[in-house]
Structures are given as structure tokens and as C-alpha cells.
């Protein structure tokens, strides 16, 4: 009997299973407070049901459209810029023939990935400061007016997205480089013999070669469009750029953890999770139909 | 094969663009370094940009004189070491059984684990759970809710399946070894590279994390470094460090800037020093993860 013979494997796995049940499935069960009026001393179970009251309040709230617009806007902007750039970078690194130069480019572009969000946001604020920042001293030395980047709502999304590109493009390119390394060099030789130029070979060999990887990562990225990096937005946010920076997650944090409106924020959070999940499933289904590559 | 003219031009073009990108990534890091060891007023006047001007360590002096920050540093060390140890143990405990074809129920177990990547209860139910378990304001709130990452389990499972010869394990079983013995004596000794990658990924995660501390900790004595760093870098709160009473306002504003640059360097120093040695490992780690499991 396999189960009995492998009891040690089950013993090993038990704490892991327990962890997932307690710290992932219990909170999913706890999500029911979104449909209740949570009363602390009654607990999640015994608090009274109120149906969709908190959802209605969220949909009717003054900030609803602002939050949705910001969340979608930042997510889509990030997808449009942050998805193709690592691919282009990987294709270029792959073409660079000198091994030493390649390694140097890679070493440098991976490095910012290891900086903490706090440090990156701190650096953004130092560089963009209107009084002492490097960017503004360059602008003024060319005779321009200093720009208050961090307090100007119209700059928020671009700063968020492009600093993300700065921090992440190298790291995200690794996976494409791995895929490119797996392409049979004979294909390239054959294409060269047939007279295919540089661009044609990238278009007809390299891109199809990494297409499965691209599909998988695109699905994962689209599935998290609404799950935009809360930690960074939260740090970049201030009362003056709120108009452009308030997203679902920061709203949940403010009303839930700071304002102790547990049920209301749980409803907002649940709305977010469900939309993400639906998007993931939809994109996955489309990908499976169109390209035969999918997550499952 | 000789290259055509257009290909050579394209090659040069690629080198130029890549050099430009590299410079764009490197320069901000380099600037922080030289700004941190220059006199703050030269940085403010925009004179520093290729080389440090008028060497000054005032930022570092103020930083190291701050006892809270030093405690934050020690807290972070504690959270990073215990957290990483727990993470790695849990990852092995999950990945090894799941790598075994004769582990009944592994399909269901995998599904249970992977589902949590795509759907979660969200911030509030998690917070209430941690609160209910009485872990608020303890080290447990920092290390237990993030005890293991699904993604890393998958990477490690894939490594066990693809890089450890099945025959070796089978031979050991025929010799009467138990599952535990096979794991400890055969599988783990052959898993050096992947273990190094896991330690690195988890440790960097703990070192850089601030959010669970922000929600779960309220006593400043327990704060990790990143939360103090947030006060310094993002919120510009440095009253203790720049003493306005005995300095002029302009002086303290300048020192405040110097402290920021120094703070970035100090927090990332361990990473900067280890980075060249670790690079070959983490690239390998991502590559292993790239092979779809």
C-alpha cells in the first residue's frame, strides 16, 4: 500500500497543507464578512448578514469611478509598456555577440530588481525633488521651469510605470533569454544560407521560439492588471496626487486597516479578487483557443 | 560566414542601444553612491555628477548615531534569518513529496496550493486572522503568514524531478532506506544550486519587505529597517537625526538629504557586496523556473 509505505512523505507534507489551509483558505472563508456587518466581539461567524449592502455602498460611493479608472489605467499602462520592453531587451542582448559585454549588460540591468520598494520610491523622490533633485537641476540648467513631479497628478502614472521598467526590465528579460537559448542554432544557420537577414531571422525564428513563454507571461500579467503593485503606489501616494494614485488596494488599506471598516473593505477587496480571477480565466481561455498555449 | 554590411550596422546599433540602457540603469545607483560621500551642499548645488566632491561622511555619521535605526537593522537580521530558515524548510517539505510520482493525491495537493496563487481572501480577512491568532506585534506575524511561496515550491519540485536521477533514489529504496533518509542523504546533497537560489530569493524578500510589518506591528521596538527607511526616505521624518535646535535650518535640510543617500547605501550594502557572487545562482534559479512544471 503506497500511502502506508510513504507515510513519511505525508508527515512531511502535513505542515505545508496546514499552512495553506490556515493562512490561505481560512481567509477565503473569512471573506464572508463582506456580506455581514462585522462586529468584533461576535467574530466572523456570528456577525449578522447584510447581503450586498457594502458592495452597494462601494458602487455608489463618490470615489468608485476614480478608483476604478486609476486601477485600470495604471494596470493597462504598465502592461502596455512593461510587457514588450523586456522582450525587446532580451532579443537585443541575445544578438550581442561579445560574451563579456552581454554579461555586463545583464549584471547591471538585473541589479535594481534587488532594491526594496522603499528604496526605489525614496530614490524616485530624491531624483525628482523640485528643490534638490537631479532631474529638475537638469531642467533648470536648460532654462526650464522646475516640475513638482510627485505632487502633480498628471505625472503619477508615468513615474510609476517607467520607474517600474527601470527596476524590472532586466529581471523580466531573464526568462526570455532562457527561451531564446533553447532555440536550435541550426534554424538560424539554415535561414542564413537561405539569405534571411537579421530582422527576418528575429521575426521568423526568435519570436515564434519564445511565443509560448510570451503567452504564459501575458496571461499572468493580464490576470493581475487590477492587482497593481500596491506597495509601491502606497509609498508614492500623497494627498496632492491622490486624484491619480488612489487605487482599489490603497482604498482597502485606508478604510479597512486604518479606518477599521472591516466589512466594507473586505467587500472592496473581494470585488478586486473576483474581477482579477475572471480576467485570468477569460484570457487563459482565449489564449488556449488562439495559440494552444495556456496556463492550464 | 561573413556578415553582410546591413548586419554589421545592425550589430553596432544594438551595442549602442544596449550601452545606453545600461548607463540609464547604472547611473542613478552610481549617483546615490557618490552623493552619499560628498558634501551635501555640493550635491544641492548640482556640482556632483561624475565624481564625489569634498568628501564628507556626515550622512553616515548621523545614520549610525541613530539607535532606532540600528535596532531596526538587527530586527531585520532576525526576521531574515528565521524567516528564510522556515521558508526553505517548508519549501522542501512541500516540493519533495510533490516531486514523487508515487505520492498519492499529489494532483489534488498541487491544485490546492496553486489555486491560492490566483485567488485570495484579501488584506482584511488576512489581517483579522493574524489578529485572532494573537500574532499582532510579534515576530510570528512577520514570518508565519509568508511561510512558503507557491512559485518557489513549483521551481523546487521541477528541480527535484528533472535533476535528481530517479535510479539513485530507487536503488536506495531497494537497500532499505526510508523516504526521509533518501531526502536527507541523496536528494538534498544533490540540490546545492537550487537551495542557494531559494535562500537568496527568500532572504532578499525578507530583507526588503515592509508591508507586513506596517500592518501587523505597532511597537516601534519591533520595526524592521525598511519601516524606518520609509520614514527617512519617503516621509522625510528625521527630527531625531537632524537636530534643528543647534543647527541652522538650511544646514539641517542639507544633512537630511545626505542622510537619505547614506541610508540607501547602508541598507543595500550586504546585497551590493554579495551580488557578484550570487549572480550565477539567481540566473540559474529563474532559468529552472522557466522550464514549465
- The secondary element (H helix, E strand) that includes residue A185 is helix A185-193
CA A271 to chain centre: 18
The burial of B65, by beta-carbon neighbours within 10 Å (0-12 exposed, 13-18 middle, 19 or more buried), is given as exposed
Residues of chain A contacting B22 with CB distance shorter than 8 Å: 104-105, 108-109
Contact assignment for A118 to B210 by CB distance below 8 Å: yes
Question: Does B65 touch chain A if contact means CB atoms closer than 8 Å?
Answer: no
Contact assignment for A9 to B100 by CB distance below 8 Å: yes
DSSP chain B: -PPPHHHHHHHHHHHHHHHHHHHHHHHHHHHHHHHHTS-HHHHHTT--SSS--S---HHHHHHHT-HHHHHHHHHHHHHHHHHHHHHHHHHHHHHHHHH-TT-TTHHHHHHHHHHHHH----HHHHHHHHHHTT-TTSHHHHHSTTS--HHHHHHHHHHHHHHS-HHHHHHHHHTT--HHHHIIIIIGGG-HHHHHHHHHHHHHHHHH--HHHHHH---GGG--HHHHHIIIIIS---TTTS-TTTS-HHHHHHHHHHHHHHHHHHHHHHHHHHHHHHHHHHHHHHHHHHS--
Alpha-carbon span B32 to B263, nearest angstrom: 10
Contact assignment for B204 to A105 by CB distance below 8 Å: no
Greater model confidence, B149 or A229 = B149
Nearest CA in chain B to A140: B46
Nearest CA in chain B to A122: B233
Both ends of chain B: CA-CA distance in Å?
Answer: 38
Residues of chain B contacting A96 with CB distance shorter than 8 Å: 14-15, 18
Poorest-pLDDT segment among A58-62, B81-85, B130-134, B281-285: B281-285
Contact assignment for A111 to B25 by CB distance below 8 Å: yes
CA A50 to chain centre: 33
Both ends of chain A: CA-CA distance in Å?
Answer: 31
Which of A17, A31, A109 comes nearest B122 by C-beta?
A: A31
Inter-CA distances, A193 with A190, A207, B263, Å: 5, 19, 56
Helix, strand, coil % in chain A, rounded to nearest 5: 80, 0, 20
Give which of A116, A191, A241, A258 to mutate to test B binding, by max B Cβ within 10 Å: A116
At B217, give phi and psi (nearest 5°). Answer: -110, 135
For cell 503593485, the residue is: A229
pLDDT-based confidence at B290, cuts 50/70/90?
low
Cell of A158: 508615468
Contact assignment for B234 to A118 by CB distance below 8 Å: yes
Buried b (16+ CB within 10 A) or exposed e, A104-113: bbbbbbbbbe
Complex-level ipTM:
0.89
Radius of gyration of chain A (CA): 24
Contact assignment for B109 to A262 by CB distance below 8 Å: no
pLDDT of B218: 93
Question: Does B85 touch chain A if contact means CB atoms closer than 8 Å?
Answer: no
Residues 222-241 of B with CB under 8 A from A: 226, 229-230, 232-234
Residues of chain B contacting A12 with CB distance shorter than 8 Å: 93, 96-97, 179-180, 183
pLDDT-based confidence at A73, cuts 50/70/90?
very high
Task: Write the CB contacts of B182 (distance below 8 Å, at least 6 apart in sequence).
Answer: B169, B172, B173
- Of the candidates A134, A130, A140, the one whose C-alpha atom is nearest the C-alpha of residue B47 is A134
- The secondary element (H helix, E strand) that includes residue A291 is helix A262-291
pLDDT of B293: 37
Alpha-carbon span B22 to A166, nearest angstrom: 10
Sign of the CA dihedral with A139 first, then A145, A150, and A155 last: negative
Radius of gyration of chain B (CA): 25
HSE (side-chain half, CA atoms, 13 Å) at A286: 11
Contact assignment for B43 to A132 by CB distance below 8 Å: yes
Angle at the Cα of A291 from the Cα atoms of A288 and A293, rounded to 5 degrees? 60
pLDDT of B196 strictly over 90: no
CA A7 to chain centre: 39
Question: The pTM is what?
Answer: 0.89
Alpha-carbon span B130 to B145, nearest angstrom: 8
Count of A-B CB contacts under 8 Å: 244
pLDDT in tens, B205-236: 999 999 999 999 999 999 999 999 999 888 87
pLDDT in tens, B30-88: 999 999 999 888 888 878 888 888 888 988 988 888 888 889 999 999 999 999 999 99
Alpha-carbon span B213 to B223, nearest angstrom: 7
Residues of chain A contacting B268 with CB distance shorter than 8 Å: 114-115, 119
Cell of B192: 546545492
Count of all residues that appear for chain A in the document: 296
Percentage of chain A modeled with pLDDT above 70: 98
B58-291: CATH topology is MetI-like fold (1.10.3720)
pLDDT in tens, A167-210: 999 999 988 998 898 888 899 889 888 888 888 889 999 999 99
Q: How far is B137 from chain A (nearest CA, A)?
A: 15
Residues of chain B contacting A44 with CB distance shorter than 8 Å: 128
Which of B122, B180, B226 comes nearest A266 by C-beta?
A: B122
Nearest CA in chain B to A232: B211
- Of the candidates A63, A117, A38, A30, the one whose C-alpha atom is nearest the C-alpha of residue A248 is A63
Question: Does B290 touch chain A if contact means CB atoms closer than 8 Å?
Answer: yes
Percentage of chain A modeled with pLDDT above 90: 54
In chain B, what are the domain boundaries? Answer: 5-45, 58-291
pLDDT of B245 strictly over 70: no
Greater model confidence, A61 or A4 = A61
Residue A49 β-bridge partners: A36
Residue A36 β-bridge partners: A49
3-state secondary structure of A221: helix
Percentage of chain B modeled with pLDDT above 70: 92
Alpha-carbon span A249 to B254, nearest angstrom: 35
pLDDT of A264 strictly over 60: yes
Nearest CA in chain A to B100: A9
Amino acid at each position: 500500500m503506497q500511502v502506508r509505505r510513504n507515510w513519511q512523505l505525508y508527515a512531511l507534507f502535513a505542515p505545508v497543507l496546514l499552512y495553506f489551509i490556515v493562512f490561505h483558505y481560512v481567509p477565503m472563508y473569512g471573506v464572508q464578512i463582506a456580506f455581514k456587518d462585522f462586529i468584533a466581539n461576535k467574530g466572523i461567524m456570528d456577525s449578522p448578514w447584510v447581503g450586498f449592502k457594502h458592495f452597494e455602498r462601494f458602487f455608489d460611493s463618490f470615489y468608485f469611478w476614480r478608483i476604478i479608472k486609476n486601477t485600470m489605467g495604471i494596470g493597462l499602462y504598465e502592461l502596455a509598456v512593461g510587457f514588450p520592453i523586456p522582450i525587446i531587451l532580451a532579443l537585443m542582448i541575445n544578438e550581442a555577440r561579445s560574451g563579456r559585454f552581454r554579461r555586463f549588460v545583464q549584471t547591471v540591468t538585473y541589479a535594481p530588481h534587488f532594491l526594496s520598494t522603499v528604496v526605489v520610491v525614496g530614490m524616485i523622490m530624491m531624483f525628482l525633488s523640485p528643490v534638490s533633485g537631479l532631474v529638475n537641476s537638469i531642467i533648470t540648467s536648460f532654462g526650464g521651469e522646475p516640475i513638482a513631479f510627485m505632487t502633480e497628478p498628471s505625472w503619477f502614472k508615468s513615474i510609476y510605470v517607467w520607474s517600474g521598467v527601470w527596476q524590472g526590465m532586466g529581471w523580466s528579460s531573464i526568462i526570455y533569454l532562457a527561451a531564446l537559448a533553447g532555440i536550435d542554432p541550426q534554424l538560424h544557420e539554415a535561414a542564413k544560407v537561405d539569405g534571411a537577414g537579421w530582422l527576418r531571422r528575429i521575426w521568423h525564428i526568435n519570436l515564434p521560439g519564445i511565443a509560448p513563454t510570451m503567452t504564459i507571461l501575458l496571461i499572468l500579467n493580464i490576470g493581475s492588471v487590477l492587482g497593481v503593485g500596491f506597495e509601491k503606489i502606497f509609498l508614492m501616494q500623497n494627498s496632492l496626487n491622490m486624484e491619480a494614485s488612489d487605487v482599489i488596494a490603497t482604498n482597502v488599506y485606508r478604510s479597512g486597516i486604518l479606518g477599521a471598516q472591516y466589512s466594507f473593505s473586505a467587500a472592496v477587496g473581494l470585488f478586486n479578487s473576483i474581477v482579477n480571477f475572471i480576467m485570468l480565466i477569460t484570457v487563459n481561455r482565449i489564449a488556449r483557443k488562439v495559440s494552444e498555449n495556456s496556463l492550464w | 560566414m561573413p556578415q553582410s554590411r546591413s548586419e554589421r550596422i545592425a550589430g553596432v546599433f544594438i551595442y549602442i542601444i544596449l550601452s545606453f540602457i545600461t548607463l540609464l540603469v547604472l547611473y542613478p545607483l552610481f549617483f546615490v553612491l557618490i552623493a552619499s560621500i560628498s558634501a551635501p551642499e555640493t550635491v544641492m548645488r548640482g556640482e556632483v555628477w561624475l565624481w564625489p566632491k569634498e568628501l564628507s561622511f556626515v550622512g553616515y555619521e548621523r545614520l549610525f548615531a541613530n539607535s532606532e535605526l540600528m535596532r531596526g537593522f538587527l530586527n531585520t537580521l532576525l526576521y531574515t534569518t528565521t524567516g528564510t530558515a522556515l521558508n526553505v524548510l517548508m519549501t522542501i517539505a512541500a516540493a519533495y513529496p510533490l516531486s514523487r510520482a508515487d505520492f498519492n493525491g499529489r494532483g489534488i495537493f498541487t491544485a490546492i496550493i496553486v489555486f491560492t496563487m490566483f485567488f485570495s481572501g484579501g488584506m482584511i480577512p488576512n489581517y483579522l486572522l493574524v489578529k485572532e491568532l494573537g500574532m499582532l506585534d510579534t515576530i510570528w506575524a512577520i514570518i508565519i503568514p509568508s511561510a512558503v511561496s507557491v512559485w518557489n515550491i513549483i521551481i523546487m519540485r521541477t528541480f527535484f524531478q528533472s535533476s535528481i536521477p530517479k535510479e539513485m533514489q530507487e536503488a536506495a529504496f531497494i537497500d532499505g532506506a526510508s523516504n526521509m533518509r533518501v531526502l536527507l542523504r541523496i536528494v538534498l546533497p544533490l540540490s546545492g544550486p537550487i537551495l542557494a537560489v531559494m535562500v537568496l530569493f527568500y532572504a532578499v524578500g525578507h530583507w526588503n519587505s515592509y508591508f507586513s510589518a506596517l500592518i501587523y506591528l505597532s511597537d516601534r521596538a519591533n520595526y524592521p529597517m525598511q519601516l524606518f527607511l520609509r520614514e527617512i526616505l519617503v516621509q522625510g521624518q528625521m527630527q531625531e537625526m537632524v537636530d534643528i535646535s543647534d543647527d541652522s535650518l538650511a544646514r539641517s535640510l542639507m544633512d537630511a538629504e545626505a542622510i537619505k543617500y547614506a541610508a540607501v547605501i547602508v541598507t543595500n550594502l550586504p546585497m551590493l557586496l554579495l551580488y557578484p557572487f550570487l549572480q550565477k545562482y539567481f540566473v540559474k534559479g529563474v532559468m529552472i523556473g522557466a522550464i514549465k512544471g
